[in-house]
């Protein structure tokens, strides 16, 4: 079954069905290409992360978070490995990995753009910032562009409402963004 | 093990410590409707259909009978205006998801629930978790799980495990209170179009 072309079949038939988080990335086989390119996550690193937690099942979320931090997404084979090593059923690993927004089951771009849509940022014009970023990058929240350069996400209040509308790129906060400043900010990233 | 005397619907019931209200009621033949309860499984408290009035030291509260442990001098009312109203509401909400479920329709008739009260959103699954919990606790295969959260939460078979285990088991199908066919559909889907693993 591994040789199938999930991109072609998957999306239509999955619909709201199983593994939506996997299916979404697979339109036009893009996810497939990206996946093969980004397979770099080596298993030594995973072993290392699991070892620091002494392979305890109770640290499942911690382990997943650290892998997410290093790799920016959680490939299926990594989840299988974690499930094996921590002796947690794969079903539970999948449930945890799909329930939290922190975890991504689809490959992410090199730079993660987070736009705050909390109440304060919203009234200060977060929508305009979001529109502008969407315009410039050509992606919607939750998506990654063709060159794996940016991933766009909307986030809730980051706790710095006086800086709104606020945009974070790779954890660096860009405050009081006006749509005009966004292009300059995005240009700095390769 | 010490015996506890409690009153259910005006009837004195003797129960063991650690039993739930539901178990105590069932032991004397008092029927409390349930959807997510199964004798072999840990109590879950997902459907809240077993809500009853429990009176402790003069205070009445609404509790899920399948979870609430019996205690001394507990007075339980399994039928009252408020309880019936809650059950009716729960059924109406569940029927929006699974309008064709026999089990739900029978209960709806009993409690006068209107299946058209809320706009229909047939996902068939009412998240009772019977299949998921049965697979984890009884058969210990862990082939099916809940994924996602909130309104997009749904059951999902794990293709790698399902391909090996499910064909000869399918014990979860008959547990489903809405439509066993739904589980069959999700299983077939998982086997025919497994999530890309590469």
Where along chain A do its domains lie? 1-37, 40-107, 111-187
Give me the domain span that covers residue B60.
3-79
Counting one residue from A and one from B, how many pairs have CB atoms under 8 Å apart?
89
CA distance B45 to B98: 19
What's the pLDDT band for A93 if we cut at 50, 70, 90?
very high
CB A17 to CB B186 under 8 A? Answer: yes
What are the tens digits of pLDDT across the range B137-164? 999 999 999 988 888 898 888 888 888 8
Q: Does residue B115 form part of some domain?
A: no
Contact of A24 with chain B, judged by CB distance below 8 Å, is answered with no
Boundary residue ending a domain (B45, B79, B113): B79
Query: Among the CATH numbers 1.10.645.10, 1.10.10.1590, 3.40.50.720, 1.10.3720.10, which is that of A40-107?
Result: 1.10.10.1590
A-facing residues of B in 124-183 (CB < 8 A) are 132, 135-136, 142-149, 152, 154, 156-161, 163
Q: Is residue B71 part of a domain?
A: yes
Interface test with chain B among A91, A93, A142, by most B beta carbons within 10 Å: A91
User: Least CA distance to B197: which residue of chain A?
Assistant: A76
Q: Does A31 sit within 8 Å of B196, measured CB to CB?
A: yes
Using a CB-CB distance cutoff of 8 angstroms, which residues of chain A are in contact with residue B158?
90-91, 94
ipTM of the complex: 0.78
A152-185: string of b/e by CB count within 10 Å (b at 16+)? bebbeeeeeeebbbbbbbeeeebeebebeebeeb
Residue A3's pLDDT is what? 37
Nearest residue on chain B to A98, alpha-carbon basis: B148
Instruction: Write out chain A residues lying below 8 Å of B156, CB-based.
Output: 18-19, 94
Chain B hits for A6, CB-CB cut-off 8 Å, are 193-196
Query: How many of the other CB atoms lie within 10 Å of CB of B138?
Result: 14
In the predicted model, is pLDDT for residue A15 greater than 90? no
Where residue B24 sits, what CATH number does that domain have? 3.10.20.740
Searching chain B, which residue's CA lies closest to the CA of residue A76?
B197
| pLDDT attached to residue A38 | 53
Residues B64 and B68: their CA atoms lie apart, in Å, by: 6
Residue ranges of A 70-129 with Cβ closer than 8 A to chain B:
76-77, 80, 89-92, 94-95, 98-99
pLDDT digits (tens, 9 = 90+) for B15-63: 999 999 999 999 999 999 999 999 999 999 999 999 999 999 999 999 9
The DSSP bridge partners found for residue B54 are B61, B76
In the block, residue with structure tokens 């966004």: A182
Name A174's bridge partners. Answer: A167
Structure tokens that stand for B28 in this block: 């004397």
Measured from the Cβ of residue A40, the count of other Cβ atoms closer than 10 Å reads: 7
Q: How many domains does chain B have?
A: 2
Confidence (pTM): 0.76
Please state which CATH class domain A111-187 belongs to. alpha beta
- What's the pLDDT tens digit per position in B61-109? 999 999 999 998 899 999 999 999 999 999 999 999 888 888 899 999 9
Angle at B37 between CA B36 and CA B39, to 5 degrees: 150
A111-116 sheet: strands from edge to edge:
A150-155, A111-116, A167-169, A172-174
């Amino acid at each position: 079954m591994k040789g199938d072309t999930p991109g072609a079949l998957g999306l239509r038939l999955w619909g709201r069905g199983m593994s939506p988080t996997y299916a979404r990335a697979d339109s036009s086989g893009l996810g497939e290409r990206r996946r093969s390119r980004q397979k770099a996550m080596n298993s030594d690193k995973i072993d290392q992360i699991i070892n620091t937690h002494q392979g305890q099942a109770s640290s499942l979320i911690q382990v997943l978070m650290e892998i997410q931090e290093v790799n920016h997404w959680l490939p299926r084979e990594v989840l299988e490995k974690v499930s094996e090593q921590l002796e947690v059923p794969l079903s539970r690993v999948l449930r945890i990995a799909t329930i939290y927004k922190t975890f991504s089951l689809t490959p992410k771009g090199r730079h993660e753009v987070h736009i705050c849509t909390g109440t304060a940022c919203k009234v200060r014009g977060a929508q305009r910032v979001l529109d502008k970023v969407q315009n410039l990058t050509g992606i919607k929240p939750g998506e990654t562009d063709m060159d794996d350069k940016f991933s766009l996400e909307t986030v809730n209040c980051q706790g710095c409402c006086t800086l709104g509308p606020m945009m974070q790129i790779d954890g660096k906060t860009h405050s009081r963004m006006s749509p005009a400043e966004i292009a300059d900010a995005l240009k700095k990233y390769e | 093990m010490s015996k506890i005397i409690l009153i259910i619907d005006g009837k004195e019931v003797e129960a063991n410590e650690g039993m739930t209200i539901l178990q105590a009621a069932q032991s004397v033949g008092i029927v409390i409707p349930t959807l997510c309860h199964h004798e072999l499984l840990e109590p879950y408290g997902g459907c809240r259909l077993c809500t009853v009035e429990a009176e402790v030291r003069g205070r009445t509260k609404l509790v899920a009978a399948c979870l609430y442990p019996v205690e001394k001098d507990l007075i339980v009312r399994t039928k009252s205006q408020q309880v019936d109203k809650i059950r009716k509401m729960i059924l109406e909400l569940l029927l929006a998801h699974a309008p064709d479920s026999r089990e739900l329709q029978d209960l709806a008739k009993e409690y006068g629930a209107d299946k058209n009260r809320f706009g229909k959103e047939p996902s068939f699954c009412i998240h009772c978790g019977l299949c998921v919990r049965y697979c984890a606790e009884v058969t210990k295969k862990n082939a099916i799980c809940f994924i996602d959260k909130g309104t997009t939460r749904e059951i999902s078979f794990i293709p790698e495990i399902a391909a090996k285990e499910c064909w000869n088991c399918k014990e979860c199908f008959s547990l489903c209170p809405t439509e066993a066919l739904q589980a069959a559909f999700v299983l077939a889907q998982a086997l025919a179009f497994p999530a890309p693993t590469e």
